[in-house]
Chains A and B, each alone.
Chain A
Amino acid sequence: MNDKELLSLLQSDPEKGLEQVVESYSAYVYAVCKGRLSAVCDERDMEETASDIFVRFYRFGLKRGFDTLTAVRPVILVIARRRCADVFRAKSGDPEVIDIDDLSYLTDGSTDTERAELIELIKALGEPDSRLIWLRYFYGLSSKEIGKQTGLRPNTVDKRIQRALSKLRQQLEEDM
């Protein structure tokens, strides 16, 4: 199912829609959990965190209306990243107080020009480099894990990421 079909199903039958969302995006969410939390969580905790992420998405959608969303994947990914950051802090004993119910970042609606530009620059790297950047820095996957995803050897992954970073740095400097 694509995002449009998922959103349509979530509106007509939220429970079935949630099931399909989990089927479609559990690999994404679990990848974030694994990449961000494997140092502080076991597999069971990561699965718990992944399920929390889907529940948050679901409750957010029920509260706000799934018709207000234009896509599923970006929302799921953002919730996943933020939730994993919270869990990591909690597991690491960081005393920072987090408002666990704050999902305001999902309705911010703003696009920071600088960040948007960086995303476009990453995109412009082209595959597989753009994907390697996402897998390493968004999901936090190791070179070995990225190799499983992309079919590249781990040392090739490392070299390509280093080259991609240099390219991004150069382009940002040129733009300034």
Chain B
Amino acid sequence: MEKKITELFDSLTPEEAALAGDECRIERGDKDITARILSLTERKAGITMENRISHTKKYSRRFIGFMAAAAIAVTGIVGAGASYVYKKNSASERYFGAGADEKLESMGAKYEQTFKGKHFDINIETILSDGQYITVVANAEPNDERGAKMLQNCEEPWLHSVKSEISDTEFDEETNTLVENGRAVMRWSYVLDEPQDKVTMPMSLITFGIEGGKYITFAEFELTFEKNERTIILENAENEKISLCENSISGRDVTIAVKTDPLPFREVTVFYKDGTSKSIEIYGSSESRDDGHYDKIHISFLEFVDIDNVSAITIGGTRFEVK
């Protein structure tokens, strides 16, 4: 009988499953597990950006944990020597808004470099750094049938730096990958523990191999980040300071009044000297303690801010002025 029932469930169709009533219900789920599954699902489905506020930190911490397994599962590594110039494209506009390419060009942030890897070539498109918050926009193009198949099979690759494994920062990596036009477009960002005008990071292009159930490294290479973004300092009524660059906010020991629980950073507004203001689209942020205090705060944007004309910025219910 048990065999018969198992066979039934093994070959069940949706129509047959629909015949079951509420007896197939599951009542008790774990909220943390749901949050992690949601984060993974959104990333794989390419829709993480709006929801990164509540998930980025969890993902980062988790990511650090499982990379040890990834190191064991390396199946093919191609060194940085195998690089060449590749064709121009515009993936950066997805992460920084329309017209981003021109802005990035003026900042000297545009790159055209390719690293050949196993199954995928990784094309570096943009490298940004304000000295502490570093960002790469890239795309991975399949270079064989297996790579193309992996994209179809939700095994799209993403960027990772092994350096984050040894970091003690509370806010490590932000990664986002989405598949479009037969390639994986990705943004990777990282907050350095201490500001550095120039830093070289060891990078990997990896994925989770569904069939093998292990992390797979397609390519390993190094990227050098030189400061190419300017910053301005803003201050709140408590004299706490934040640093604003074109695409992110950073600071230490800052308390933010929560305005919209549970996602206070959905509301970041920039006020300009000409009296106009703009609500900023958020890419990711660190999380506060329950009292709204941040030992280290970081909020990244999906657009550029004209920092030369900023007069103030509000984060949640706290206003920071340019002094």
A90 touches B211 (CB 8 A): yes
Smallest beta-carbon distance A141→chain B, Å: 9
Known: A100-B211, A169-B1. A18 touches B47 (CB 8 A): yes
Query: Does A133 interact with chain B (Cβ within 8 Å)?
Result: yes
- Give the interface size class of chain B: 35 or more
A131 touches B1 (CB 8 A): no
Closest partner residue, chain B, to A83 (CB atom): B210
Q: A23 to B5: give the CA distance in the assembly, Å.
A: 29
Smallest beta-carbon distance B158→chain A, Å: 13
Segment of B14-22, B126-134, B252-260, B271-279 engaged in the interface with chain A: B14-22
How many A residues face the partner with a CB closer than 8 A? 70
Q: A108 to B13: give the CA distance in the assembly, Å.
A: 7
Of B1, B13, B20, B36, which one neighbours A111 at CB under 8 angstroms? Answer: B13
Query: Does A67 interact with chain B (Cβ within 8 Å)?
Result: no
Specify which chain B residues have a CB less than 8 angstroms from the CB of A18 in the assembled complex.
41-42, 45, 47
A137 touches B33 (CB 8 A): no
Segment of B23-31, B181-189, B228-236, B293-301 engaged in the interface with chain A: B23-31
A119 touches B8 (CB 8 A): yes
Query: Does B38 interact with chain A (Cβ within 8 Å)?
Result: yes
Sample (6) of A-B pairs whose CB atoms are under 8 Å apart: A58-B45, A75-B17, A87-B213, A101-B153, A111-B13, A115-B8
Give the top 4 A-B pairs by smallest Cβ distance, nearest first: A27-B29, A51-B40, A74-B17, A130-B23
Extra contacts, 8 of them, besides A30-B33, A31-B26, A106-B13 (Cβ < 8 A), are A18-B45, A22-B34, A78-B17, A108-B15, A109-B15, A112-B13, A138-B24, A172-B4
